DNA sequence: CTTTATTTTTAGCCTTGACTAAAAATAAAA
DNA sequence: TTTTATTTTTAGTCAAGGCTAAAAATAAAG
């Protein structure tokens, strides 16, 4: 069982590692966690003893298999709770992070497996990020911005990039939500605007909109 | 904002106070919280400074209005989460306490108010205990054991006393759950057995069963 | 290849919340 | 009303996690 602080470190290191290959620097962790490098050194040494990461002085850290699994599990919980908050409690996508940040530390395997079932075994959270399975595996996914698709390509909406209230309301009006199928009927190279099909509706969208919607294409 | 430890103390003192009128002794708190009296003294002095309780050396403590409200709010959260776990995630009544113990410390007014709505504004948790409102008020309730009712009295099932698996399965079979209306059609003084009406069914129950079901009669 | 700048670590201290052992109040018994 | 027992408090420690300031590595520049 890991403490709240330990879980947060593992999570942060997991994210940093996936963004920039290779060992993660002490400063980078301190930065991500809004804490001081000296505190990071302490914690990282402690976590190295618990064998969730390997740490070489002055060289940085990287998660072990065990550490990756633990981190992925915390992330799994975070994302499942986000789905719950949006789908069941009708929060908006951009309101749920802080709450999920707390809920992710509730310890109970059974709780999470039942929550998963209750939510219909979702694959993505409301931001379009994939939800790891209970073994910590993340399905490799083909997530693109809608603006990167070309004519006749299609996919499923899995999230938004930046979520301001106006944009979310626009999506609402157009009946676009997580899981909605979207097809590109036409694309204007001139301004990046598109004509897309959503359900039985066809309509025009600007480049700005297209750059804010994540689509999964496989 | 109160720490996890502080919230747990407030909750424990609240419960102790409601059971035994007057100031609560240091030992009683230590006992309830499975900690040492010296630790309790420390914490209680800290909480007295925060004005959530009044404390007189060697005399004991009692919650202030502010403290009562805070404690009731934690209890409110605990009980709402228990309802969620049972009603939505299909946990059994006796499995939910430890999980709710963690969930109750998640800080978000909005979360709780939405959860409350999602659950249909329940008045009781799965154990039949009343859920305080957001101001910390507990509706004064007329909760009795079914065995205390007499012929022609009726009420609503609000919980169970002891919940073992066999008993819960029995209730399941008879379609008795939280909110079920129950009427006493007959009562045998000889052995305490009863004939009751549940929905359109009428059947016989033993004293043992009747002593394990809480009924609200107002 | 030194010198300087940056990054990382160490050492020492702080707060929270708990503990033990000893002292001080209070309560009970003789 | 003393004496004894019980309860409560105080004093001093400890572990977790964080911080600051200073020292030590590493990297960058001259």
Residue B9 contacts residue B70 (beta carbons within 8 Å): no
Question: Which of A63-77, A81-95, B169-183 has the largest mean confidence?
Answer: A63-77
Q: Model confidence at A76, in pLDDT bands (50, 70, 90)?
A: very high
CA of B27 to C1' of D7 (A): 8
Q: Model confidence at B82, in pLDDT bands (50, 70, 90)?
A: very high
Contact B107 A102 (CB under 8 A): yes
Contact B106 A108 (CB under 8 A): no
Nearest chain A Cα to B109, which residue? Answer: A99
Residues whose CB falls within 8 Å of the CB of residue B101, separated by 6 or more in sequence, listed in order = B78
The span from the CA of A101 to the CA of B196, in Å, is 48
A204: helix, strand or coil: strand
Q: What's the pLDDT at A153?
A: 86
Q: What's the pLDDT at A208?
A: 92
Q: Model confidence at B10, in pLDDT bands (50, 70, 90)?
A: very high
* B114 contacts in chain A (CB < 8 Å): 89-91
Return the structure tokens found at A120.
């219909």
Q: What's the pLDDT at A95?
A: 92
Q: Is B149 on the interface with A (CB under 8 A)?
A: no
Q: Is B89 on the interface with A (CB under 8 A)?
A: yes
pLDDT at B159 over 90: no
Every domain of chain B and the residues it spans? 4-63, 143-216
Contact A102 B98 (CB under 8 A): no
pLDDT at B137 over 90: yes
Looking at the DSSP assignment, which residues form a beta bridge with residue B201?
B198
Q: What's the pLDDT at B33?
A: 98
pLDDT at A135 over 90: yes
Q: Which of residues 56-115 of A touch strand D (CB under 7 A)?
A: 57-58
3-state SS record for chain B = CCCHHHHHHHHHHHHHHHHCCCCECHHHHHHHHCCCHHHHHHHHHHHHHCCCEEEECCCEEEECHHHHHHHHHHHHHHHHHHHHHHHHCCCCCCCCHHHHHHHCCCCCHHHHHHHHHHCCCCCECCCCCECCCCCCCCCCCCEEEHHHCCCCCEEEEEEECCCCHHHHHHHHHCCCCCCCEEEEEEECCCCCCEEEEECCEEEEECHHHHCCEEEECC
Residue with tokens 């909110």: B179
pLDDT at B141 over 80: no
CA-wise closest residue to A113 among A73, A141, A151 = A73
Q: What's the pLDDT at B31?
A: 98
Q: Is A145 on the interface with B (CB under 8 A)?
A: no
pLDDT at B39 over 90: yes
The span from the CA of B152 to the CA of A128, in Å, is 58
Listed range (A155-164, A193-202, B79-88) with the worst mean pLDDT: A155-164
The answer to whether some atom of strand D lies closer than 7 Å to the beta carbon of B70 is no
Q: Rounded mean pLDDT of A159-182?
A: 85
Contact A91 B108 (CB under 8 A): no
Q: Rounded mean pLDDT of A136-146?
A: 86
Q: Which of residues 126-185 of B touch strand D (CB under 7 A)?
A: none
The ipTM, to two decimals, is 0.83
Nearest nucleotide to the CA of A3, by C1', is D16
Q: Which fold has domain B4-63?
A: Arc Repressor Mutant, subunit A (1.10.10)
Residue A157 contacts residue A213 (beta carbons within 8 Å): yes
pLDDT at B107 over 90: yes
Return the structure tokens found at B179.
């909110």
Q: What is the CATH number of domain A143-216?
A: 2.30.30.90
Interface test with A, best of B77, B101, B102, B104 (most A CBs within 10 A): B102
Contact B111 A99 (CB under 8 A): yes
The span from the CA of B38 to the CA of B57, in Å, is 13
Could you report how far apart the first and last alpha carbons of chain A are, in Å?
36
Q: How many CB atoms lie within 10 A of CB A11?
A: 21
Q: How many CB atoms lie within 10 A of CB A42?
A: 11
Question: Distance from CA of residue B32 to its chain's centroid?
Answer: 16
Positions of strand D less than 7 angstroms from a protein CB: 7-12, 16-22, 25-26
* B96 contacts in chain A (CB < 8 Å): none
Q: What's the pLDDT at A169?
A: 87
The span from the CA of A103 to the CA of A82, in Å, is 9
Q: What's the pLDDT at A217?
A: 81
Q: Which long-range contacts (CB under 8 A, 24 or more apart) does A37-42 make?
A: A40/A9
Nearest nucleotide to the CA of B2, by C1', is C16
Residue B157 contacts residue B180 (beta carbons within 8 Å): yes
Q: Which of residues 94-133 of B touch A (CB under 8 A)?
A: 95, 98-99, 102-103, 105-108, 110-111, 114-115, 118
Q: Rounded mean pLDDT of B74-83?
A: 98
Contact B106 A107 (CB under 8 A): no
pLDDT at A141 over 80: no
Q: Rounded mean pLDDT of B61-66?
A: 98
Closest residue by C-alpha to C1' distance, nucleotide C18: B39
Contact B118 A91 (CB under 8 A): no
pLDDT at B207 over 90: yes
Q: What's the pLDDT at A71?
A: 98
Q: Model confidence at A162, in pLDDT bands (50, 70, 90)?
A: confident
CA of A1 to C1' of D21 (A): 34
Q: What's the pLDDT at B161?
A: 85
Q: Quote the mean pLDDT of chain A.
A: 93
Q: For nucleic chain C, which protein residues have CB less than 7 Å from any of its atoms?
A: A 25-28, 37-38, 40-42, 44-45, 55, 57-58, 60; B 3-6, 8, 35-36, 38-39, 42-43, 46, 57-58
Residue with tokens 């025009």: A204
pLDDT at B119 over 90: yes
Residues A81-98 as b or e (16 or more Cβ within 10 Å = b):
bbbbbbbbbebebebbee
Looking at the DSSP assignment, which residues form a beta bridge with residue A31?
none
């Amino acid at each position: 069982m890991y403490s709240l602080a330990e879980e947060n470190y593992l999570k942060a290191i997991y994210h940093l590692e996936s963004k920039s290959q290779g060992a993660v620097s002490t400063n980078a962790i301190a930065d991500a966690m809004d804490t001081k490098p000296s505190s990071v050194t302490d914690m990282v040494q402690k976590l190295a003893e618990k064998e969730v990461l390997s740490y070489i002085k002055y060289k940085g850290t990287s998660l072990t298999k065990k550490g990756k699994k633990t981190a992925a599990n915390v992330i799994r919980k975070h994302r499942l709770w986000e789905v719950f908050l949006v789908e069941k409690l009708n929060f908006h996508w951009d309101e749920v992070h802080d709450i999920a940040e707390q809920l992710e530390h509730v310890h109970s395997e059974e709780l999470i497996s039942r929550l998963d079932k209750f939510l219909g075994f979702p694959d993505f959270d409301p931001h379009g990020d994939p939800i790891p399975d209970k073994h910590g595996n993340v399905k490799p996914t083909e997530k693109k911005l809608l603006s990167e698709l070309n004519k006749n390509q299609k996919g499923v909406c899995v999230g938004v990039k930046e979520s301001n209230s106006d944009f979310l309301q626009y999506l609402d009006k157009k009946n676009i939500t997580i899981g909605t199928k979207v097809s590109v009927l036409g694309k204007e190279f001139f301004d990046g605007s598109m004509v897309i099909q959503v359900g039985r509706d066809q309509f025009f969208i600007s480049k700005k909109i297209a750059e804010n919607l994540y689509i999964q294409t496989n």
